[in-house]
Amino acid sequence: MASCSADLAPLMGPNATAAASYICDRLSDTSYAVDTTYLLFSAYLVFSMQLGFAMLCAGSVRAKNTMNIMLTNVLDAAAGGLFYYLFGFAFAFGSPSNGFIGYHFFGLKKVPSATIDYSNFLYQWAFAIAAAGITSGSIAERTQFVAYLIYSAFLTGFVYPVVSHWFWSTDGWASAFNSDDLLFGSGVIDFAGSGVVHMVGGIAGFWGALIEGPRIGRFDHSGRSVALRGHSASLVVLGTFLLWFGWYGFNPGSFNKILVAYGSGSYYGQWSAVGRTAVTTTLAGCTAALTTLFGKRFLSGHWNVTDVCNGLLGGFAAITAGCSVVEPWAAIICGFVAALVLISCNKIAEKVRYDDPLEAAQLHGGCGAWGVIFTALFADKEYVAQIYGADRPYGLFMGGGGKLLAAHVIQILVIIGWVSATMGPLFFLLHKFKLLRISAEDEMAGMDLTRHGGFAYVYHDDDESPKNGIQLRKVEPSSTAPRV
């Protein structure tokens, strides 16, 4: 603001200093308003992804568990909101702090400040509950309700915030925004969270699903995989498009502000980088979807819409780390490899009899890890300089050397180690105290009936008053003989 007044005053007439100061104050107010509005709008988009998660999860499970999985998605947001408010935001962004964990702004005390506003909390909360939503998909259809509440509170209140502090806070030991002591002179470029969000949620889900074991009937006595298909491809597609829409807040919104000029008077500024980020996000998802379509057609002989939707989301999860610092053509490579990673992870999961109803650990964990590596290979020098500062290491394949790659390998290892050391023991203790998995009888009957008082789908006939409701059921053909 002082620089603005000094530059403007010589151009003014009488009372030049006061007039220049007044104009610059108004410009500063406008800048804050524009950037805050952009961040809030992005937060609303990211929050809309919770509806996408809910619909995707609902369509991917069997009808008898629909109400249960939708309720867990609601409570991920609700419980996550309280625990992120009380502890999580402070652990993640409480500054000044050490490199491991923040310790200011508990309960949003002393917010707003010169560096943090309420809009920052809302945006970061939407990210935290996204990580919890990923985990809920891995342990669907067989997990006790109390276990959801415990892990969701712990993940959003402690585990995820510590990771986001490491890589996103200005004080984090591996953050690219830490100007004091950058890891390998670079820090980690995980712009919107392929590692911070997707790997955290995917690895947490992996431990939950591994410890409680596969669903009844998922593998036969000889160990062969038996498909337990979700009950509604329509809900899966609806959820996928809602997530796609929300990803335009997830990735471009991670700039946090839009009114930043890269050159005075130029048409090119951060608003252009925001648009480019939306383009790279789109191209990675589209490429992954098409690659999965033809890849699964080759392997199974079917054109499967659910597989294509998962492939699309895998491309989005992968591009999330480098969406702001890569060229659009590189995003196509990212999406192509992400689809192959997802297909490969699913094949391995079948071989080792690992059961994840939504492929969440494979999708978010596997594709998220690829996205972290991809960024270290293809980050563009110019884009890195615009966002993180000049003279930084950039992508190995773009001539930037191997320092960024080394930092990103360390990111993958420490995320795996941290989440495994925290969420693994939590799920193990829940299992030991018989708080993790429901009984075999309840699982066979369905959690909606045994835990929530009834099925999600009920038909009411006003002409048959003695009946409270008729439950919809699947009608099987009485004969397998072909019709003539």
Answer whether residue 246 is part of any domain.
yes
Q: What is the pLDDT of residue 98?
A: 93
- pTM of the entire predicted model: 0.91
Q: What is the mean pLDDT of residues 263-275?
A: 87
What's the pLDDT band for 171 if we cut at 50, 70, 90? very high
* Span 12-38, pLDDT tens digits: 666 666 766 766 777 778 889 999 999
Q: What is the pLDDT of residue 15?
A: 66
CATH number reported for the structural domain that contains residue 331 in this entry: 1.10.3430.10
Question: Using alpha carbons only, what angle is made at residue 68 by residues 63 and 71, rounded to the nearest 5 degrees?
Answer: 130
What's the pLDDT band for 190 if we cut at 50, 70, 90? very high
pLDDT value at 6 more than 80: no
* Span 298-331, pLDDT tens digits: 988 889 999 999 999 999 999 999 999 999 999 9
Answer whether residue 471 is part of any domain.
no
Residue pair 100/482 in contact (Cβ under 8 Å)? The answer is: no
Answer whether residue 142 is part of any domain.
yes
Q: Which domain holds residue 304?
A: 35-262+276-442
Count of structural domains, the chain: 1
Q: What is the pLDDT of residue 28?
A: 78
Answer whether residue 330 is part of any domain.
yes
Q: What is the mean pLDDT of residues 360-378?
A: 98
Q: What is the pLDDT of residue 149?
A: 93
Lowest mean pLDDT among 218-222, 242-246, 279-283: 218-222
Answer whether residue 145 is part of any domain.
yes
Answer whether residue 391 is part of any domain.
yes
Percentage of the chain modeled with pLDDT above 70: 90
Q: What is the pLDDT of residue 1?
A: 56
Answer whether residue 482 is part of any domain.
no
Q: What is the mean pLDDT of residues 95-123?
A: 93
* Span 71-86, pLDDT tens digits: 999 999 999 999 999 9
Give the length of the chain: 484
